[in-house]
Amino acid sequence: MKVLVVYASTDGHSRKIARSVTGQIADSGHAVEMLPAVDSEGVDIGQYDRVALIGSLHGGHYQRHLSDFAADNSDALNELNSIFLSVSLTAAGHDADDWTGLEKVLSEFIDATGWKPTDVLQVAGAYVPSKYDIFRRFVMRRIIAAKDPDANLDQDKEYTDWLALHEFIDTWLASTRLTSAPIKQLVAAP
Ligand SMILES: Cc1cc2nc3c(=O)[nH]c(=O)nc-3n(C[C@H](O)[C@H](O)[C@H](O)COP(=O)(O)O)c2cc1C
């Protein structure tokens, strides 16, 4: 199989996830290409068997380059088995209202782009104060203090469950399904 991994990342964690997923796909014996959404203009989706999109939430929205890629290529993407890895800190928690908000953002993204991913995985992201400017550090400290009282607010922290992520990718690669309604699965905090 020939697989395309398209990602957008503001602080680097979705890029790390994209690299890990790309490595896993290659190790499984498939041809794979990894492409930043910002450089994806003109890519021919028709030459791939499967496509994975990866992006993260910032202020309730995914990166513009990722939405543009999904919208520009929705028809071609809807013809094959494609997945969306939605990275956020909401997915690191268990608050029901937060999760309802996450589902709403996802459904708005699907409506806005016209892309109907075969599967969606909500992936817990990372808190990276080492990369934030003063304003973002202030905002994120308050969010993490409320969400994870045990966290050291001065230290970077990953919430991603890598094992669950890799199991999801293995299942995807093994599946023979073409397209279907999105099935949401959760990756919670380890
Ligand atoms: C300024 C800022 C805004 C964020 N907004 C949200 C948000 O609205 N919802 C959410 O669940 N996570 C939010 N996050 C958490 C990010 O989605 C998380 O840190 C993710 O790992 C970032 O991925 P990236 O490094 O690929 O950009 C925000 C993070 C920052 C720094």
Q: Give the residue extent of every domain in the chain.
A: 2-125+160-186, 128-157
Q: Report which protein residue has its CA nearest ligand 1's atom 27.
A: 10
**Distance from C-alpha of 87 to C-alpha of 105, rounded to nearest angstrom:** 12
Percentage of the residues of the chain whose pLDDT score is greater than 90: 91
Predicted structure pTM score: 0.94
pLDDT digits (tens, 9 = 90+) for 44-83: 999 999 999 999 999 999 999 999 999 999 999 999 999 9
Give the whole-angstrom CA distance, residue 125 versus residue 137: 16
Report the pLDDT value the prediction gives residue 101, as an integer from 0 to 100: 95
Q: In Å, what is the CA distance from 32 to each residue of 49, 104, 131?
A: 10, 31, 29
Tens digit of pLDDT for each residue in 91-118? 999 889 999 999 999 999 999 999 999 9
Which range (17-26, 143-152, 176-185) has the least confidence? 176-185
Pick the closest to residue 43 from 18, 6, 12 (CA basis).
6
- pLDDT band with cut points at 50, 70 and 90 for residue 149: very high
Measured distance CA(42)–CA(72) in Å, rounded: 10
Taking the centre of ligand 1 as the mean of its atom positions, its distance from the CA of residue 115, in whole angstroms, is 22
For 2-125+160-186, the fitting CATH number among 3.30.390.10, 3.40.50.360, 3.40.50.620, 3.40.50.1980 is 3.40.50.360
Assigned token pair, 185 = 């699965």
Q: Which of 5, 84, 87, 88 has most ligand 1 atoms within 8 Å of its beta carbon, as the pocket-test mutant?
A: 88
pLDDT at 178: 62
Per-residue pLDDT reduced to its tens digit, 154-189: 999 999 999 999 999 999 999 876 655 554 445 544
The mean pLDDT of the chain is 93
CA–CA gap between residue 27 and residue 9 (Å, rounded)? 23
Residue nearest to atom 2 of ligand 1 (CA): 58
